[in-house]
Amino acid sequence: MDLGSLKVGSYIMIDGEPCRIVSYDHSKPGKHGSAKARVAAIGVFDGSRHSMVSPVSANVEVPLINKKSGQIISLSGQTLQIMDLETFEVFETSAVEDEIRDKITQGSEVEYWKVLDRVKIVRAKG
């Protein structure tokens, strides 16, 4: 997509990290150049702040986010074993939002996001 069509709340790839845009500002074209966009975003997996300045017409990568449901099979320290409720595929992850870490128990259902072969649990259901 081109950078001019994105807005606050959408997702973008910055430095190889999928990020959610938290601020978007663009300047109008001047005498010696095209309009520029300043994007500030928070990383989906690392939670750090990323920024980018680029022409509005520049093409940027937008990650595909698969939002799926799963069930917690086992808990061992920071590692969780999850079974997808559609394909019954079992995989492990340690990326969990801090607010829901204490709500997760064995056998509970969760919503997880799969982005670039990485998995993050974002919500506990029920």
79/120 same-domain check: yes
Considering only CA atoms, which of 96, 90, 97 is closest in space to residue 74? 90
12/49 same-domain check: yes
- In degrees, rounded to 5, the angle at the alpha carbon of residue 50 between the alpha carbons of residues 48 and 52 is 175
- Residue 66, amino acid: N
Kindly report the backbone phi and psi dihedral angles of residue 105, in degrees, each rounded to the nearest multiple of 5, phi listed first: -130, 165
Tell me the pLDDT tens digit for each residue of 19-40.
999 999 988 888 878 899 999 9
Q: How far is CA 53 from the centre of its chain?
A: 20
Tell me the pLDDT tens digit for each residue of 88-112.
999 988 878 777 888 888 888 999 9
The pTM for the full model equals 0.83
17/44 same-domain check: yes
43/77 same-domain check: no
CATH number at residue 88: 2.40.50.140
Parent domain of 10: 3-55
